[in-house]
Amino acid sequence: MPGDLHSRLALSFARFGTRTLVEAEGKAWTYGEVEALSARLATRLAALSVAPGERVLVQTEKSVETLLLYFAVVRLGGIYLPLNVDYTEAELDYFASDATPVLAVCRTGDEPLFARIGKGVVTVTTLDSLFVDLPTEAAPPASRQPEDIAAILYTSGTTGKPKGAMLTNANLVSNGETLIQLWRFTPEDRLIHALPIFHVHGLFIAVHCVVFSGASMVFLPKFESAAVIDLMASSTVLMGVPTFYIRLLADERFTREAAAGMRLFVSGSAPLSADIHRAFESRCGHRVLERYGMTETGMLTSNPYDGERRAGFVGPPLPDVQLRIAEFETGKVLPQGEVGIVEVRGPNIFAGYWQMPEKTASEFRPDGFFITGDMGFIDTDGSVQLVGREKDLIISGGLNVYPAEVEALLDDRADVAEAAVIGVPHPDFGEAVVAVVQPAGKFDAEAVREEMRRDLAAFKVPKQIIVLDELPRNTMGKIQKKLLRERYADLFAG
């Protein structure tokens, strides 16, 4: 198999030429059409200076055109940098300044905003305009090595600014190859694609499983249970975050009959509760296959295709991944069954954070294992259970929110003395962001939420702000978040 992503994609484009690759809004594109269009689009991008190693920042709606843009950037050996469509100007400005892209592609109407962000962006263009009078000639593919960077995906951190995880050609190719074997993808599969395509899950895992195996997929703009249920009769696989499964269960149209033609439901990006796992099986007869991954690593573990898919477990490591449990402070490897930090090594582990060599070094052990920040243990059957996180992170509907970022915004306000941001159980999102604030003077929680929306993507804005005269502190003066989490555990119950 080729070690660079374009060659791997091209293999499928050639092999499955006349078969459908993607459907959206009632239209279908074959493998051959996708290759031809992305090659022509690459000609346009090359004229805009996209070349090996150059970053292309993308904030566009989920569409086949965005997918073509991804393939075109890969063809030219550029570095694809997708961003959540919900990011605000303040958030975008950081990414654009940090990544210094040669090209930024935005939605029509966002040009003035994009003209303001980032000092290093050379050209701003809209996705629509890229497709006007597409050149007829195909750009020659660039020569790329397995270790060359194919994409940068930003992930936030417990402290400091978001970090750009650099994913190599080899990272993406190896993980895709492993997963199509493990999950038994064939050209007969049709995937219901309801995830966003600016994250690892929807972009690399879903799209590569489809393209590498010659399968097809239907693009939905976002998850909607009615549309997903309708598609089940003509599809075989769904990949989703736990919220998808929670919402399917809440829809009475989701029945055994509705799911009868499906062969696989995959869940990941956040913990799937054992209760949901069991409720799903009793409703439709399928056991969800839960897997575990990260932006920096792609997929790390997966429950088996055949054999026991254990509720509450994320399964054993993938065949080419080494996974161990260690003591966080010392790095001492712990015996089977003991809880510690999950550390991983393998061909899918990223090449480091963009222009942050020290940060990168601090997240790897000297022997090359990456420290995930997740706490867990390995059971006697080799299956991993995650029991929590060493990192102060909230995962809401499969999206990561770092409390430090939200707290900083609140703490900067004149009407806030101090704020603590916590994750509390939520029936739909798994966890929800909640801020507990000690005000300095007059404080209007709803007005503050509105204002926060200007600087923060909606999923990071606290669903509720609780006002307390005094935040609980320990003897050292540190806010007791654990106590707050316990106190407000039932905030969204029932």
The residues binding ligand AMP (CB under 6 A) are 155, 200, 268-271, 290, 292-295, 314, 372-374, 386, 389, 395, 400
CB of 292 to ligand AMP, least distance (A): 4
Contact status: 199 vs ligand MLC (CB under 6 A)? yes
Contact status: 402 vs ligand MLC (CB under 6 A)? no
Q: Which of 202, 316, 340, 439 binds ligand MLC (CB under 6 A)?
A: 202
Q: Are 151 and 77 in contact (CB under 8 A)?
A: no
List the end-to-end C-alpha distance of the chain, in Å, as a whole number: 51
CB of 68 to ligand MLC, least distance (A): 20
CB of 4 to ligand AMP, least distance (A): 23
Q: Which of 47, 116, 143, 222 binds ligand MLC (CB under 6 A)?
A: 222
Secondary structure element (H or E) that encloses residue 56, with its range: strand 55-59
Contact status: 31 vs ligand MLC (CB under 6 A)? no
Q: Which two tokens stand for residue 212?
A: 């590498």
CA distance 245 to 120: 41
Rounded to 10 deg, the angle between the 89-99 and 445-455 helix axes is 30
CA distance 85 to 358: 30
Strand-pairing partners, residue 163, are 155
Partner whose binding site includes residue 214, from ligand AMP, ligand MLC, none (CB under 5 to 8 Å by kind)? none
CB of 387 to ligand MLC, least distance (A): 17
Burial of 74 (0-12, 13-18, 19+ CB in 10 A): buried
Amino acid at 398: G
Partner whose binding site includes residue 343, from ligand MLC, ligand AMP, none (CB under 5 to 8 Å by kind)? none
Q: Which two tokens stand for residue 146?
A: 């397995």
CB of 85 to ligand AMP, least distance (A): 16
Binding segment (CB under 6 A) for ligand MLC, from list 129-137, 195-203, 347-355, 381-389: 195-203
Phi, psi values for residue 168, rounded to 5°: -90, 165
CB of 88 to ligand AMP, least distance (A): 19
Q: Are 223 and 240 in contact (CB under 8 A)?
A: yes
Contact status: 72 vs ligand MLC (CB under 6 A)? no
Sequence-distant (6+) residues with CB within 8 A of 244 are: 194, 223, 228, 238, 267
Q: Which of 22, 79, 215, 294 binds ligand MLC (CB under 6 A)?
A: 294
Q: Which two tokens stand for residue 427?
A: 């029936």
Contact status: 62 vs ligand MLC (CB under 6 A)? no
Cβ distance to ligand AMP smaller for residue 293 or 317: 293
Q: Are 429 and 396 in contact (CB under 8 A)?
A: yes
Secondary structure element (H or E) that encloses residue 58, with its range: strand 55-59
Q: Strands (DSSP E) along 186-320, which ranges?
A: 190-193, 216-219, 237-240, 264-267, 289-294, 298-302
Sheet holding 340-345, edge to edge: 322-326, 340-345, 370-378, 384-389
Cβ distance to ligand AMP smaller for residue 198 or 212: 198
Binding segment (CB under 6 A) for ligand MLC, from list 38-46, 138-146, 390-398, 437-445: 390-398
Q: Which of 415, 373, 241, 246 is closest to 435 using CA atoms?
A: 415
Cβ distance to ligand AMP smaller for residue 40 or 201: 201
Contact status: 197 vs ligand MLC (CB under 6 A)? no
Partner whose binding site includes residue 389, from ligand MLC, ligand AMP, none (CB under 5 to 8 Å by kind)? ligand AMP
Partner whose binding site includes residue 155, from ligand MLC, ligand AMP, none (CB under 5 to 8 Å by kind)? ligand AMP
Q: If you search the block for the tokens 């090594």, which residue do you land on?
A: 345
Contact status: 176 vs ligand MLC (CB under 6 A)? no
CA distance 40 to 34: 10
Partner whose binding site includes residue 314, from ligand AMP, ligand MLC, none (CB under 5 to 8 Å by kind)? ligand AMP
Cβ distance to ligand AMP smaller for residue 24 or 395: 395
CA distance 362 to 359: 5
Contact status: 397 vs ligand MLC (CB under 6 A)? yes
Partner whose binding site includes residue 458, from ligand AMP, ligand MLC, none (CB under 5 to 8 Å by kind)? ligand MLC
Q: What is the SS3 assignment for 164?
A: strand
Amino acid at 268: G
Cβ distance to ligand AMP smaller for residue 14 or 387: 387
Cβ distance to ligand AMP smaller for residue 205 or 211: 205
> Would you say the C-alpha torsion 131, 10, 298, 250 has a positive or negative sign?
positive
Q: Which of 90, 458, 468, 489 binds ligand MLC (CB under 6 A)?
A: 458
Cβ distance to ligand AMP smaller for residue 271 or 317: 271
Contact status: 315 vs ligand MLC (CB under 6 A)? no
Q: Which of residues 260-279 bind ligand MLC (CB under 6 A)?
A: 268-269
Phi, psi values for residue 295, rounded to 5°: -55, -45
Binding segment (CB under 6 A) for ligand MLC, from list 53-61, 131-139, 177-185, 291-299: 291-299
Secondary structure element (H or E) that encloses residue 66, with its range: helix 64-75
Contact status: 155 vs ligand MLC (CB under 6 A)? no
Q: Which of 171, 175, 180, 165 is closest to 146 using CA atoms?
A: 171
Cβ distance to ligand AMP smaller for residue 16 or 350: 350
Give the residues lining the site for ligand MLC (CB under 6 A): 195-196, 199-202, 222-223, 241, 243, 268-269, 293-295, 396-399, 429, 458-459
